[in-house]
Amino acid sequence: MKHLRSFSLFESQNPPLTEDQIEFLDDNITGSWKYNYSTGKIDIDGSFNIDWESFMGLKFGEVDGSFSLRSDEIASLDGCPQVVNGMFYCDVKLISNLEGSPSYTDVSFFTCANLKSLDGGPKEVGSMTIRVNLKEIQTLRGAPLIVEEKFKLTFFGIDQSSVVYSSSEWNLEGKVQVLLQDKNEKIKNLLCTLITAEEVKNSFQKDPGKTLHSLVEVWDLPGFSEVKKEIKIPANYEEEFQLMKGFDELGLF
């Protein structure tokens, strides 16, 4: 496999890479790669697949294909591609968050035994599957803002269970309905952290009634405490909200 070089009247034809870096890329990429002079990163047309300890100082930009990595050694995803127009597969043991992962993936799979949060994860995905250790994960904040197809969570470490959201459920009402189906209190509170303050505000603008109904269901759950600090029930709906909460406490809601 040969790498591709970017050409410019004002740039050297040879990318500023060491022989070891070039050998590393040639050995681990099926397809072609090029050094992008405008970003200083490596773009790939093909697939990258490796069990690795480091990227040898390289940073990746856009991948048209797949990007697969496995490691029990590294503690950061720094250097991973920014965009993967294909599949991104990540099976790493030591990372505590997803900082450094792509901002967009078509399809992504994460298995992270020591993950504490989803901070730094992809902001937009086609579909995303993530396996996390229920003993380690503390919050799901940082989940994608846009899900085009589905978002799946699998919890392991005690009893394995999975939760799946379709794209139509990736909103306040859908997230609340999904979490209410789970009987595990820890998982239910974790699923609460998928809800964002911005999502609540947008929901109020579209349908205040449905928004109040959804908020009543999660308002007193510990997992919703952080979002509560960032939102405020509009004054003209406060009385109605308190009435609905009262009915809920009596089991009449």
239 Cβ neighbours under 8 A, 6+ residues apart: none
192 Cβ neighbours under 8 A, 6+ residues apart: 179, 218, 221, 222, 223, 224, 227
Dihedral angle over CA of 140, 146, 152, 157, nearest 10? -20
Collapsing DSSP to helix, strand or coil, 26 comes out as: helix
Helix (H) or strand (E) holding 248: helix 235-249
The model's pTM is: 0.88
Q: Give 107-124 pLDDT, tens digit per residue.
A: 999 999 999 999 999 999
Mean pLDDT to the nearest integer, 215-225: 95
Q: Give 139-187 pLDDT, tens digit per residue.
A: 999 999 999 999 999 999 877 899 999 999 999 999 999 999 988 999 9
DSSP 179-234: HHT---HHHHHHHHTT--HHHHHHHHHH-HHHHHHHHHHHTTSGGGHHHHHH----
pLDDT level of residue 246 (50, 70, 90 thresholds): confident
pLDDT level of residue 3 (50, 70, 90 thresholds): very low
98 Cβ neighbours under 8 A, 6+ residues apart: 77, 110, 112, 115, 117, 118, 119, 120, 121, 122, 142
Count Cα atoms within 13 angstroms, Cβ side, for 155.
21
Predicted pLDDT of residue 100? 95
Beta-ladder partners of 33: 44
Beta-ladder partners of 29: 48
Predicted pLDDT of residue 9? 35
Residue 91 has pLDDT above 50, yes or no: yes
Mean pLDDT to the nearest integer, 239-250: 80
pLDDT level of residue 248 (50, 70, 90 thresholds): low
Predicted pLDDT of residue 84? 97
Q: Give 29-67 pLDDT, tens digit per residue.
A: 999 999 999 999 999 999 999 887 788 999 999 999 999
Residue 10 has pLDDT above 60, yes or no: no
Report d(CA 124, CA 110) in Å as an integer: 15
Residue 12 has pLDDT above 50, yes or no: no
pLDDT level of residue 251 (50, 70, 90 thresholds): low
pLDDT level of residue 73 (50, 70, 90 thresholds): confident
Predicted pLDDT of residue 252? 52
Mean residue pLDDT across the chain: 90
Nearest CA among 65, 95, 101 for reference residue 82: 101
Count Cα atoms within 13 angstroms, Cβ side, for 202.
10
